[in-house]
Amino acid sequence: MCGKCKKRIRWIKTAAGKNMPCDEDFVYYKEDAAGKDKIVTPDGKVATGTIVHSPEFVTGFGYIPHFATCEYEKMFRKKRRKAKK
Ligand SMILES: [Zn+2]
């Protein structure tokens, strides 16, 4: 569980040996070096690509790092952006 927003999270051990908090549900993604999304694959690799909502023509599936979707992190980021102005 995320200590900040209280959502359920899944820990995935990355190839670098770190535990990465990810969203519970998996997503399909298409690998693309210019993509804006980071996806952690079940075997711990971090892929760059685009999350797609159909399982056709995808590279595979994986999990979104939780810090990309955490409501608390979003709030925190907004506040910081405001403070800079
Ligand atoms: Zn969270």
Pairing of strands 60-65, 46-52: unpaired
Confidence of residue 25 (pLDDT cuts 50, 70, 90): very high
Q: What average pLDDT does range 61-75 have in this prediction?
A: 89
Q: What average pLDDT does the segment 1-9 reach? A: 92
Contact between 49 and 30 (Cβ < 8 Å): yes
Q: Which residues contact 16 (CB under 8 A, 6 or more apart)?
A: none
Determine the distance separating the centroid of ligand 1 and the alpha carbon of 22, expressed in angstroms: 9
Are 36 and 50 within 8 A, CB to CB? yes
Q: Is the pLDDT of residue 84 over 60?
A: no
When pLDDT is averaged across residues 12-32 and rounded to a whole number, the result is 95
Q: How far is the CA of 26 from the centre of ligand 1 (A)?
A: 16
How far away, in angstroms, is 71 Cα from ligand 1 center?
6
